[in-house]
Amino acid sequence: MKSLHALFKPPSSPTKTTTSSSSTTTTASKTRKPATSSSSSNAPIPSPNPPEITTTISKTSENKPKSSLSALFIPPTPPTEAHFISLIHGSKTILQLHQIHAQIIIHNLSSSSLITTQLISSSSLRKSINHSLAVFNHHKPKNLFTFNALIRGLTTNSHFFNAIFHFRLMLRSGIKPDRLTYPFVLKSMAGLFSTELGMAIHCMVLRCGIELDSFVRVSLVDMYVKVEKLGSAFKVFDESPERFDSGSSALLWNVLIKGCCKAGSMKKAVKLFKAMPKKENVSWSTLIDGFAKNGDMDRAMELFDQMPEKNVVSWTTMVDGFSRNGDSEKALSMFSKMLEEGVRPNAFTIVSALSACAKIGALEAGLRIHKYIKDNGLHLTEALGTALVDMYAKCGNIESASEVFGETEQKSIRTWTVMIWGWAIHGHSEQAIACFKQMMFAGIKPDEVVFLALLTACMHSGQVDIGLNFFDSMRLDYCIEPSMKHYTLIVDMLGRSGQLKEALRFIERMPMNPDFVIWGALFCACRAHKKTKMAKFALNKLLKLEPTHTGNYIFLSNAYAALGQWEDAERVRVLMQNRGVHKNSGWSCIEVEGQVQRFVSGDHDHKDSKAICLKLEEIMAGAVKQGYIPGTEWVLHNMEQEEKEDVLGSHGEKLALAFALICTSPGMTIRIVKNLQVCGDCHSLMKYASKISQREIILRDMKRFHHFKDGSCSCRDHW
C-alpha cells in the first residue's frame, strides 16, 4: 500500500533510455534505492507536537492494511483544497484522518477555513472530540463555520457544558450565530436541563428574527419538552404557521407527541396524533412507544395492528416494549413473527430480543439469535457484544459469555461491567477480580457500577478483606463517593460472614443516615446467625423508618413473621391493603424445547399439573430418605405444621424442577430462573434433587446463581 507521503509525492521526470542500454537501465532500476523525499523535511510543520504526527504517519503506512485512501486519485502538485476535503470525506478511521491532517499541515493548507471545518466535523463524527478542539484552537482567525462545526460536535458527543462555553466565546468574539448555531445550543441547554438559559436562548432567537425557521422551531419545542415545560412547548407549537403543512411539519408534531408521552399525558398525545395532517411511520411508532413506556401494552398492540405499513422501527418498538414491561415471552414471540414477515431486524431489535432472553433465562432462544447474527454476517459491535455477554451470563452459561467477551473488539465500560457482574453472580470472584485488572490494563477507568459488581463478587464468595480493600480503593484511589448501595453491600458482606458487631459498627460510622435496606440487611444476617437480640434491635430501627415502597412493607411483614410476631405481621399486611400496596407475584421460568414455561406458587392450572405433582412427591420422598427435612420456618404465615409443608411443596421453582425432570432427557442440565430470592427449603431440596437425578441444576434467583451438583451448591450455602 502506498503511504500518504507517496500519494502527495510529485511525479518524477520520465527517464530517457535507448535500446542498447535498456537491459542496463532495468538492472539498475531493480537495485537502486528509492530516493528520499525532501519535500516533507523542508516543509514548515507548525505545533502542536510535530514529531508525534510524523511518527504516526510512518508507523501507520507500514502497519495498516489497505484502505480506501489508496484508491483515491493522485492529485497534481500541489494538491488542492478540494482534494483534501475529498480525502477527509473518504477517511474511514480516526488514524486515517490524522494522516490526512498531517499532510494538510505539510502542504501549508491548515489555515483554510473550509478544510478546518471539515476536520472538526469529521473528528467529532468519530468521537475524537479532543482532536476537534485541538484543530479549532490552532485555527486563526475563527469564524462562524468553525464555531458551528465545533458546537455541533461538542453537542452530539454530549459535551454540553463545553458547547455552551464555546457559544459564549463565539458571542464575545463578535461572531453572530445563525440558524445552524441555535439548534445545537438549545440541545445542549436541554442536556444540562437548564430551563432559564434555554429561555434566554429563546429570547435571542426572537431578537435575531429566525424563530420561524423550521429547524430552530423544532429545536425550541424539543428543548422545552426535555426540560419538562410542556406548556411552553405547546405555545411554540401553536405559534408555528407551518404546523398544518403536510409536507414539512411531521417532525414538529412528532417531537411534541413524544414530549406528551414522556410526561405521561397520553390523552394529549392521542389528540395530537389524530389532528396530524399526515401520519408517518415515525408518528405511529412514537405513539406506540409512548404507550409502551407508560405500561399500556394492550393499547400499544392495538395501534401496532392498525398501522398501515409496519417497518423495522415499529417492530422494534413492540419487541422492546414487551421486554421492558416484563412480558419477555411476548417480546420473543414478536421477534420471531418479525423474522417470519421478512423484516430484517436492526442492532437495537436484536439487543432488545437478547435482553428478553436474559430476563427469563431463555438460553435456546438466545442461541438462535446468536446464530442469526453469525449467519447474517452482522459485525459484533459494542452493543451487540455486550447484549450477548449479558444474555449468556444471565442464562447460566458463563463460559459462553466469556468467549463472546473475548471476541468483542470494541469494549466499553459497560461491556467490562457486564462481564464482571457475570462472574460475580455466578460466584467466581477470582475471575471477576482478574477481569477488573484486565480492564485497568486496557486503560478503562472504573465507575461506581464496576465497584458494585466487585463488592457483589466479594460478598458472594465471603472475601471480606478484599471487599473492604475495594471499598477503600474506590474512595481513595478513584475519588468515587460510595452510594447507599455500596454501603449496603458492605453491611451484607460483613453480616453474611458472621461479623455482626463489625457490621453494626460500620453502620454507625456511615456519613449518611442508614435507610430501610441497610437495617434490613443487618436483620437478615442476624436472623441467619440466630442472633435474636440484635435482630430485634435492627427491627426497632426499621420501625422508626417509614416504608417508602412495596418491598419495605413486605420485608417488615416477613421480619415480624420470622420472629413469630404474627399479630404484628398481620397488622402490616392490613396496612398494605389499606394503602393499596400489592406484593409482586413470585414466578419461576424454565425453557424446554424452545418454549418458556412459567410457574407460580401453588400453580395447578398447567396442562401437566397432575404429572408434575406426582413427580414432585417422588422427588421429595427420595430426598427425605437421604436426610431432607422440610424447612417450615421459611413459611411466613401462622398456620399448622402440615399446612406449612403443603405450602413449601408448591413453590414455583419446585414445580419447574418437576416439570423439567418429566420433559427433558436424562443427564441434561436443568436451568431455572426465579424473580425472587430462593427460600432455604427450596435451596435444600435442589441439592438433594441434583444428587438423586444425577443432573446439574442451575437456579438463578434475584441475587445470584446457584449451581447444584452431586448434592452441593456452588454458593457453599452462603447466599
**Phi–psi pair at 124, nearest 5 degrees:** -65, -40
Q: Is the pLDDT of residue 649 over 60?
A: no
Q: Is the pLDDT of residue 11 over 50?
A: no
Segment 123-149 shows an average pLDDT of: 93
The whole-number pLDDT of residue 92 equals 86
Q: What is the mean pLDDT of residues 161-185?
A: 95
Instruction: State the residue for C-alpha cell 426535555.
Output: 226
Q: pLDDT band at 583, cuts 50/70/90?
A: low
* Average pLDDT for 337-364: 95
Q: Is the pLDDT of residue 243 over 70?
A: yes
Assign 584 a pLDDT band (cuts: 50, 70, 90). low
What are 419's three cell numbers? 462481564
Instruction: Give percent of the chain with pLDDT exceeding 70.
Output: 82
Summarised one tens digit per residue, pLDDT across range 680-709 is 889 999 999 999 999 999 999 988 999 999
pLDDT digit string (tens) for 289-301?
Answer: 999 999 999 999 9
pLDDT of residue 546: 66
> Over 50: is that where the pLDDT of 635 sits?
no
Round to whole Å and give the CA distance between 388 and 396. Answer: 12
589-608: string of b/e by CB count within 10 Å (b at 16+)?
bbbbeeebbbbebebeeeee
- Per-residue burial over 492-517, b if 16 or more Cβ lie within 10 Å, else e, is bbbbbbebbebbbebbeeeeeebebb
Q: Is the pLDDT of residue 248 over 70?
A: no
pLDDT tens-digit map of 488-512: 999 999 998 999 999 999 999 999 9
User: Of 653, 683, 660, whose CA–CA distance to 611 is shortest?
Assistant: 660
Mean pLDDT of 167-181: 95
With a cut of 50, say whether residue 455 has pLDDT above it: yes
pLDDT at 123: 93
CA distances from 635 to 500, 525, 644 (A): 25, 18, 6
Backbone angles phi, psi at 596, to 5 degrees: -90, 125
Which of 22 and 122 is assigned the larger pLDDT? 122
Residue 519 pLDDT greater than 70, yes or no? yes
Q: Which residue has the higher pLDDT, 553 or 519?
A: 519
In the predicted structure, residue 61 carries a pLDDT above the cut 60: no
Grid look-up 501549508 returns 108
For residue 2, what is its C-alpha cell? 502506498
- CA dist., res. 152 & res. 376, Å (int): 35
Question: Distance between CA atoms of 559 and 550, rounded to whole angstroms?
Answer: 14
| Average pLDDT estimate for 403-416 | 95
Is residue 122 within 8 Å of residue 84, measured between CB atoms?
no
Q: Where is average pLDDT lowest: 251-265, 471-485, 536-550? A: 536-550
Chain centroid to CA 171: how far?
38
pLDDT at residue 566, rounded to an integer = 67
CA distance 532 to 563: 8
Query: Does residue 592 sit in helix, strand or coil?
Result: strand
- Is a pLDDT exceeding 60 seen at residue 670? yes
Q: Is the pLDDT confidence value at 614 over 60? A: yes
Report the candidate in 668, 693, 678, 609 with the shortest Cα–Cα distance to residue 364: 668
Whether the predicted pLDDT of 50 surpasses 80 = no
pLDDT confidence tier of residue 254, bands split at 50, 70 and 90: very high
> Cα separation of 569 and 550, whole Å?
15
Q: Specify the pLDDT at position 471.
A: 96
**pLDDT greater than 80 at residue 31:** no
> Which carries the bigger pLDDT value, residue 241 or residue 374?
374
Split at pLDDT 50, 70, 90, the class of 75 is: low
**pLDDT score for 552:** 65
Q: Is the Cβ–Cβ distance between 6 and 57 less than 8 Å?
A: no
Q: Mean pLDDT for the chain?
A: 84
pLDDT at 32: 40
For the sheet containing 705-709, what is the strand order? Answer: 595-600, 587-592, 670-674, 697-700, 705-709, 712-713
Residue 98 confidence (pLDDT) above 60: yes
Q: Could you tell me which residue, 566 or 620, shows the higher pLDDT? A: 620
Residues 636-661: what's their mean pLDDT? 64
What would the DSSP string read from start to end of 306-337?
H-SS--HHHHHHHHHHHHHTT-HHHHHHHHHH
Query: 155 pLDDT exceeds 50?
Result: yes
Is pLDDT above 70 for 19? no
State the average pLDDT over residues 429-443.
95
Are 531 and 495 in contact by the 8 Å Cβ rule? The answer is: no
Residue 40 has pLDDT above 50, yes or no: no
**Element housing 424 (H / E):** helix 413-425
* Residue 547 pLDDT grade (very low, low, confident, very high; cuts 50, 70, 90): low
pLDDT at 719: 66
> How many whole angstroms separate alpha carbon 426 and alpha carbon 401?
12
Q: For residues 134-156, give the mean pLDDT.
A: 94
Per-residue confidence (pLDDT) for residue 6, from 0 to 100: 41
What CA–CA distances, in Å, run from 90 to 41, 133, 381, 394?
A: 26, 21, 22, 41
Rounded to an integer, the average pLDDT of 238-247 is 76
Residue 140: pLDDT over 80: yes
Q: What is the pLDDT of residue 27?
A: 39
Between 9 and 599, the more confident residue is 599
